[in-house]
Amino acid sequence: MAKAFVFPGQGSQQVGMGKDLYEANQSLQPVFHSADEVSGLAVKRTMFEGPEDQLKQTQITQPALYTHSLAVYQLIKDKVSADVFAGHSLGEFCALAAAGVFSAEDGIKLVSKRGALISQARQGTMAAIIGLADDAVISLCDDIKEVWPANFNSPGQVVVSGSAQGIQQIVEKAKEAGARRALPLPVSGAFHTPFMQQAAEEFRTFLEGFTFNPPQSKVVPNVTGEPTDDPTLIKEMLARQLTSPVLWTRTMQSLSSLGVTDIYELGSGKVLCGLAKRGMSGVDCTPLGTLEDINALVSS
């Protein structure tokens, strides 16, 4: 009966996230302040007060989500321990910090740099395709210029990424092919595609300045979806992650293979718990994003 901590990625942000944690626990406040100091942006204020459009800006969203997830982790780490760590896209950085691969401080430096680089990358967008087989979505991508599968989230749910024109085409073709839903996502970039190549090259260089330690427990990188405790491989996978699809379906299969029966989603929302319910059997998933959630866990 193994336990897993999983951490959400971009798209899970909500105005007000983390404010209850900040106000209730002074020891957490430096975590939030460091996000502002390192990024040079008003991350904390935007998290707590919005506006929503500003919180959706990648250079703010990424340090905001990281900060919130790490604050939740700080509050529960002495109450619950995990046997395996994983995170969806940006959430992988939270997972690695929680697993001890790098410090919380280095993590905020990494995600702030990553968010800044992505925000400067060639613009594009993304869409969710629901109700088609993965192979069918891959085939549609092959037929449309500048569109790629970006997130394999659960069986029958794939996010595609690419140019605005290409995404419009694939949304139409997916509906024609019988997709239950095909809808554009409110993002400002074609994440996990060759559009991110320059950002990935600059980020790889930035990563070289950081020391990665062996994780306390297994981690599951997005690029492979396979567990590892090799810090050299983990760093290489982070460098490749910006231009590679997120293999979250395979990640959930790995969690099952490791005997995970209890998953805790640390951070904003409960997207990953929803994916776990669709993609795994015999597993309980508990979202932990608010002080109320944490108190309920601790008192249970």
Spatial CB neighbours of 53, under 8 Å, sequence gap ≥ 6: none
The residue behind tokens 């970039």 is 189
Q: Pick left, alpha or beta for residue 206 (phi over 0 → left; psi -120 to 50 → alpha; otherwise beta).
A: alpha
Q: Count of H helices and E strands in the chain? A: 14, 10
Which amino acid, one-letter code, is at 43? Answer: V
In the sheet that holds 218-219, the strands lie side by side as 218-219, 84-87, 2-7, 260-266, 284-288
Q: In this structure, what DSSP letter does residue 27 have?
A: G
Tell me how far apart the alpha carbons of residues 66 and 151 are, in angstroms, rounded to a whole number: 19
Q: At 259, is the secondary structure helix, strand, or coil?
A: coil
Q: How many residues does the chain have?
A: 300
List active site positions.
89, 192
Tell me how far apart the alpha carbons of residues 115 and 120 are, in angstroms, rounded to a whole number: 9
Spatial CB neighbours of 253, under 8 Å, sequence gap ≥ 6: 225, 279
Decide if 190 contacts 165 (C-beta within 8 A): no
